[in-house]
Amino acid sequence: MRKSTVFLIYIFSNIIFLAALGAHSFYQKEVARPWLAEKREMVRRLDLTDLCLFTEASYTRHLTQADGHVAFQDHPVSLEHFPSGSLLRPSSTMNRTHARLD
């Protein structure tokens, strides 16, 4: 088989695979609709405010509910020491501005 044919088959099979993943994404979104509704209902019923992404510290578990001194709340010399601190920005409630400058 010609090299160009092998290449074109590779590219087209990838595109077909990518389209199949697109279909998978669409299908999964439909499948997940009741699960999303279940989670939404749970949030409404229990008045939840946060996702359970990081459970290592209280202020990473409930990002929106943490107080304004979270990085220091566990110990007076405790700087931000949990690895998830490197993934997150401080809660938006800590960054209130008087005017939008950007």
Partner 1 sequence: MPGWIDKQKNILDFTFSSILRRKGKNIALLLVYTLVVFLLASVMFLTYSIKREASTILKDSPDMIVQKISAGRHDPIPLSYLEKVIGIRGISSAKGRLWGYYYDPIIGANYTLMVPDHFSHGPGGIEIGQGVSRVRTTFPGDALDFRTWEGKVMNLEVKRVFSPESELVSSDLVLVSGEDFRALFGGSKDHVTDLVLRVRNPKEIPTIAVKIAELLPDTRIILREEILRTYDAVFSWRGGILILILAGAVLAFIILAWDKASGLSQEERKEIGILKAIGWETSDVLLMKFWEGMAVSLSAFLAGIILAYIHVFFFSSSLFEPVLKGWAVLYPQFRLVPFIDASQVVALFFLTVVPYTVATLIPSWRAATVDPDSVMRA
16 lines the binding site for partner 1 (CB under 8 A) = no
Q: What is the DSSP secondary-structure string of the chain?
A: --HHHHHHHHHHHHHHHHHHHHHHHHHHHHHHHHHHHHHHHHHHHHT--S--S--SSHHHHSTTT--TTGGGSSSTT--S-SGGGGT-PPPGGGG--SS---
Which parts of 69-98 interact with partner 1 (CB under 8 A)?
69, 73, 82-89, 91-93
100 lines the binding site for partner 1 (CB under 8 A) = no
Q: Which amino acid is at 72?
A: F
For the bound state, the minimum distance from the C-beta of residue 11 to partner 1, rounded and expressed in Å, comes to 6
For the bound state, the minimum distance from the C-beta of residue 19 to partner 1, rounded and expressed in Å, comes to 11
Residues that bind partner 1 (CB under 8 A): 2-5, 7-8, 10-11, 14-15, 17-18, 21-22, 24-25, 28-29, 32, 35-36, 38-58, 60-65, 67-69, 73, 82-89, 91-93
